[in-house]
Amino acid sequence: MVNEQKLVVLTGAGMSAESGISTFRDAGGLWEGFDIMEVASPQGWRKNRQLVLDFYNQRRKNVLDAIPNAAHYAIAELDNKYHTTIITQNVDNLHERAGSKNIIHLHGEITKSRSTVDNNLVYDIKGHELNIGDQCEKGSQLRPHIVWFGESVPEIFTASEIVSEADLVIVIGTSLAVYPAASLLNYTDKKTPVYYIDPAIPEFKFRPNVVHIQQKATEGVQTMIKKYMKD
Protein backbone atom coordinates (compact mmCIF):
# COMPACT_ATOMS: atom_id res chain seq x y z
CA MET A 1 0.00 0.00 0.00
CA VAL A 2 1.40 3.40 -0.98
CA ASN A 3 1.91 5.91 1.83
CA GLU A 4 0.32 9.30 1.18
CA GLN A 5 3.59 11.05 2.02
CA LYS A 6 5.42 12.77 -0.82
CA LEU A 7 9.05 11.69 -1.06
CA VAL A 8 11.54 13.71 -3.11
CA VAL A 9 14.99 12.29 -3.93
CA LEU A 10 17.69 14.70 -5.12
CA THR A 11 20.57 12.87 -6.79
CA GLY A 12 23.94 13.89 -8.18
CA ALA A 13 27.13 12.37 -9.54
CA GLY A 14 27.76 10.26 -6.45
CA MET A 15 24.58 8.30 -7.21
CA SER A 16 26.01 6.92 -10.45
CA ALA A 17 29.71 6.88 -9.58
CA GLU A 18 29.49 3.31 -8.31
CA SER A 19 28.10 2.30 -11.70
CA GLY A 20 31.28 3.57 -13.31
CA ILE A 21 29.91 6.90 -14.56
CA SER A 22 32.59 9.53 -14.15
CA THR A 23 31.75 12.74 -12.33
CA PHE A 24 31.21 15.94 -14.29
CA ARG A 25 33.63 18.15 -12.37
CA ASP A 26 36.99 17.81 -10.71
CA ALA A 27 39.36 20.23 -9.06
CA GLY A 28 41.06 21.31 -12.28
CA GLY A 29 37.97 22.29 -14.22
CA LEU A 30 38.53 19.31 -16.51
CA TRP A 31 36.23 16.45 -17.42
CA GLU A 32 38.29 13.37 -18.31
CA GLY A 33 41.02 15.60 -19.75
CA PHE A 34 38.71 18.04 -21.51
CA ASP A 35 38.22 21.68 -20.64
CA ILE A 36 34.57 21.79 -19.56
CA MET A 37 33.91 25.00 -21.45
CA GLU A 38 35.15 23.41 -24.69
CA VAL A 39 32.63 20.57 -24.53
CA ALA A 40 29.80 21.83 -22.33
CA SER A 41 29.00 25.38 -23.39
CA PRO A 42 27.31 27.13 -26.32
CA GLN A 43 30.67 28.75 -27.11
CA GLY A 44 32.35 25.35 -27.36
CA TRP A 45 29.57 24.11 -29.64
CA ARG A 46 29.99 27.07 -31.97
CA LYS A 47 33.76 26.66 -31.97
CA ASN A 48 34.01 22.92 -32.66
CA ARG A 49 30.82 20.88 -33.11
CA GLN A 50 32.73 17.74 -34.02
CA LEU A 51 34.69 17.81 -30.76
CA VAL A 52 31.50 18.23 -28.74
CA LEU A 53 29.69 15.44 -30.57
CA ASP A 54 32.66 13.08 -30.24
CA PHE A 55 32.91 13.83 -26.54
CA TYR A 56 29.24 13.08 -25.84
CA ASN A 57 29.27 10.02 -28.10
CA GLN A 58 31.92 8.50 -25.85
CA ARG A 59 30.07 9.53 -22.67
CA ARG A 60 26.86 8.09 -24.14
CA LYS A 61 28.56 4.80 -24.89
CA ASN A 62 29.81 4.67 -21.30
CA VAL A 63 26.28 5.25 -20.00
CA LEU A 64 24.80 2.54 -22.22
CA ASP A 65 27.48 0.10 -21.05
CA ALA A 66 26.88 0.92 -17.37
CA ILE A 67 24.27 -0.78 -15.23
CA PRO A 68 22.21 0.62 -12.34
CA ASN A 69 23.70 -0.01 -8.91
CA ALA A 70 22.04 -1.12 -5.68
CA ALA A 71 21.19 2.47 -4.71
CA HIS A 72 19.25 3.01 -7.95
CA TYR A 73 17.25 -0.15 -7.35
CA ALA A 74 16.61 0.66 -3.68
CA ILE A 75 15.26 4.11 -4.57
CA ALA A 76 13.06 2.56 -7.24
CA GLU A 77 11.59 0.24 -4.60
CA LEU A 78 10.51 3.29 -2.57
CA ASP A 79 7.96 3.94 -5.32
CA ASN A 80 6.00 1.09 -3.78
CA LYS A 81 5.79 2.92 -0.45
CA TYR A 82 5.71 6.65 -1.19
CA HIS A 83 4.61 9.06 -3.88
CA THR A 84 8.19 9.43 -5.09
CA THR A 85 9.75 12.01 -7.39
CA ILE A 86 13.41 11.90 -8.35
CA ILE A 87 15.09 15.18 -9.23
CA THR A 88 18.49 14.40 -10.67
CA GLN A 89 21.45 16.43 -11.83
CA ASN A 90 22.68 13.35 -13.70
CA VAL A 91 22.20 13.04 -17.46
CA ASP A 92 22.31 9.22 -17.50
CA ASN A 93 19.23 6.99 -17.57
CA LEU A 94 20.15 4.65 -14.72
CA HIS A 95 17.18 5.68 -12.56
CA GLU A 96 14.83 4.78 -15.41
CA ARG A 97 16.56 1.49 -16.05
CA ALA A 98 16.29 0.60 -12.35
CA GLY A 99 12.52 1.03 -12.57
CA SER A 100 11.85 4.54 -11.24
CA LYS A 101 9.02 6.27 -13.07
CA ASN A 102 8.75 9.89 -11.98
CA ILE A 103 12.07 11.56 -12.84
CA ILE A 104 13.03 15.15 -13.54
CA HIS A 105 16.38 15.62 -15.29
CA LEU A 106 17.60 19.10 -14.39
CA HIS A 107 20.59 19.01 -16.73
CA GLY A 108 19.14 17.07 -19.65
CA GLU A 109 19.48 13.51 -20.90
CA ILE A 110 22.51 12.18 -22.72
CA THR A 111 20.49 9.53 -24.57
CA LYS A 112 18.50 12.24 -26.36
CA SER A 113 19.22 14.93 -28.95
CA ARG A 114 17.62 18.32 -29.48
CA SER A 115 17.04 20.66 -32.40
CA THR A 116 19.29 23.72 -32.58
CA VAL A 117 16.40 25.85 -33.84
CA ASP A 118 13.49 24.56 -31.72
CA ASN A 119 14.10 23.42 -28.14
CA ASN A 120 10.77 21.58 -28.16
CA LEU A 121 12.03 19.07 -30.73
CA VAL A 122 13.70 16.33 -28.71
CA TYR A 123 14.55 12.86 -30.05
CA ASP A 124 15.80 9.56 -28.68
CA ILE A 125 19.24 8.68 -30.04
CA LYS A 126 19.46 5.22 -31.57
CA GLY A 127 22.73 3.66 -30.49
CA HIS A 128 25.41 5.88 -28.99
CA GLU A 129 26.36 8.20 -31.86
CA LEU A 130 25.09 11.64 -32.82
CA ASN A 131 26.91 12.97 -35.89
CA ILE A 132 27.38 16.01 -38.07
CA GLY A 133 24.52 15.94 -40.60
CA ASP A 134 21.95 14.46 -38.20
CA GLN A 135 19.07 16.90 -38.48
CA CYS A 136 15.74 17.69 -36.86
CA GLU A 137 12.53 17.78 -38.87
CA LYS A 138 13.16 21.46 -39.58
CA GLY A 139 16.49 20.69 -41.23
CA SER A 140 18.73 21.92 -38.41
CA GLN A 141 21.72 20.10 -36.91
CA LEU A 142 20.90 18.11 -33.79
CA ARG A 143 22.86 18.73 -30.58
CA PRO A 144 23.08 16.77 -27.31
CA HIS A 145 20.01 17.28 -25.12
CA ILE A 146 22.18 18.64 -22.31
CA VAL A 147 21.93 21.87 -20.34
CA TRP A 148 25.31 23.50 -20.90
CA PHE A 149 27.04 26.13 -18.81
CA GLY A 150 25.47 29.51 -19.48
CA GLU A 151 22.10 28.02 -20.44
CA SER A 152 18.90 28.19 -18.43
CA VAL A 153 17.60 25.18 -16.50
CA PRO A 154 13.93 24.97 -17.55
CA GLU A 155 12.99 22.20 -15.11
CA ILE A 156 14.18 24.13 -12.03
CA PHE A 157 10.80 25.80 -11.58
CA THR A 158 8.91 22.50 -11.60
CA ALA A 159 11.52 21.00 -9.30
CA SER A 160 11.26 23.82 -6.77
CA GLU A 161 7.47 23.42 -6.58
CA ILE A 162 7.78 19.68 -6.01
CA VAL A 163 10.42 20.15 -3.29
CA SER A 164 8.22 22.73 -1.55
CA GLU A 165 5.46 20.13 -1.20
CA ALA A 166 7.71 17.29 -0.01
CA ASP A 167 7.04 15.46 3.26
CA LEU A 168 10.47 13.83 3.15
CA VAL A 169 13.64 14.67 1.19
CA ILE A 170 16.62 12.42 0.47
CA VAL A 171 19.79 13.95 -1.00
CA ILE A 172 22.26 11.48 -2.50
CA GLY A 173 25.71 12.04 -3.96
CA THR A 174 25.62 15.77 -4.53
CA SER A 175 27.20 18.70 -2.71
CA LEU A 176 24.34 20.94 -3.89
CA ALA A 177 27.02 23.54 -4.57
CA VAL A 178 26.08 24.30 -8.19
CA TYR A 179 23.22 26.68 -8.85
CA PRO A 180 20.36 26.61 -9.52
CA ALA A 181 20.15 23.05 -8.11
CA ALA A 182 21.88 24.30 -4.95
CA SER A 183 18.81 26.39 -4.13
CA LEU A 184 16.34 23.51 -4.03
CA LEU A 185 16.62 22.73 -0.31
CA ASN A 186 15.68 26.34 0.39
CA TYR A 187 12.18 25.49 -0.82
CA THR A 188 11.60 22.77 1.75
CA ASP A 189 9.66 23.47 4.89
CA LYS A 190 12.04 23.84 7.85
CA LYS A 191 10.23 20.96 9.56
CA THR A 192 10.64 18.58 6.62
CA PRO A 193 13.04 15.72 7.44
CA VAL A 194 16.09 15.59 5.16
CA TYR A 195 18.49 12.66 4.81
CA TYR A 196 21.83 13.57 3.24
CA ILE A 197 23.84 10.61 1.91
CA ASP A 198 27.40 11.41 0.86
CA PRO A 199 30.89 10.58 2.20
CA ALA A 200 31.88 14.26 2.17
CA ILE A 201 30.76 17.12 4.37
CA PRO A 202 28.53 19.31 2.18
CA GLU A 203 29.02 23.01 1.64
CA PHE A 204 25.50 23.88 2.74
CA LYS A 205 24.82 24.41 6.43
CA PHE A 206 22.95 21.61 8.14
CA ARG A 207 19.56 22.39 9.60
CA PRO A 208 18.49 20.67 12.83
CA ASN A 209 16.33 18.19 10.92
CA VAL A 210 19.07 17.03 8.49
CA VAL A 211 20.52 13.58 9.12
CA HIS A 212 23.92 13.10 7.48
CA ILE A 213 24.73 9.51 6.53
CA GLN A 214 28.41 9.74 5.67
CA GLN A 215 28.60 6.83 3.23
CA LYS A 216 28.61 6.17 -0.50
CA ALA A 217 25.26 5.85 -2.22
CA THR A 218 24.88 2.06 -2.26
CA GLU A 219 25.73 1.66 1.42
CA GLY A 220 24.10 4.87 2.61
CA VAL A 221 20.70 4.19 1.04
CA GLN A 222 20.54 0.80 2.74
CA THR A 223 21.55 2.36 6.07
CA MET A 224 18.81 4.96 5.73
CA ILE A 225 16.12 2.43 4.83
CA LYS A 226 17.01 0.06 7.68
CA LYS A 227 17.43 2.75 10.34
CA TYR A 228 14.87 5.39 9.47
CA MET A 229 12.27 3.84 7.15
CA LYS A 230 11.29 0.62 8.88
CA ASP A 231 7.54 1.06 8.70
Residues serving a catalytic function are: 107
From CA 164, how far away is CA 57, in angstroms rounded?
Answer: 36
Return the SS3 of 53: helix
Angle at 210 between CA 180 and CA 89, to 5 degrees: 30
Q: Which are the contacts of 198, defined by CB distance < 8 A and separation ≥ 6?
A: 14, 171, 172, 173, 174, 175, 212, 214, 220
For 83, half-sphere exposure in the C-beta direction (CA atoms, 13 angstrom radius) is: 9
Output 80-83 pairs: Cβ under 8 A, ≥24 positions apart.
80/2, 81/2, 81/3, 81/229, 82/2, 82/3, 82/5, 82/6, 82/7, 82/168, 83/2, 83/3, 83/4, 83/5, 83/6, 83/7
Of 175, 226, 177, 181, nearest to 196 (Cα)? 175
Pairing of strands 6-11, 83-88: parallel
Q: Could you give the dihedral angle defined by the CA atoms of residues 226, 229, 230 and 231, in that order, rounded to the nearest 10 degrees?
A: -170
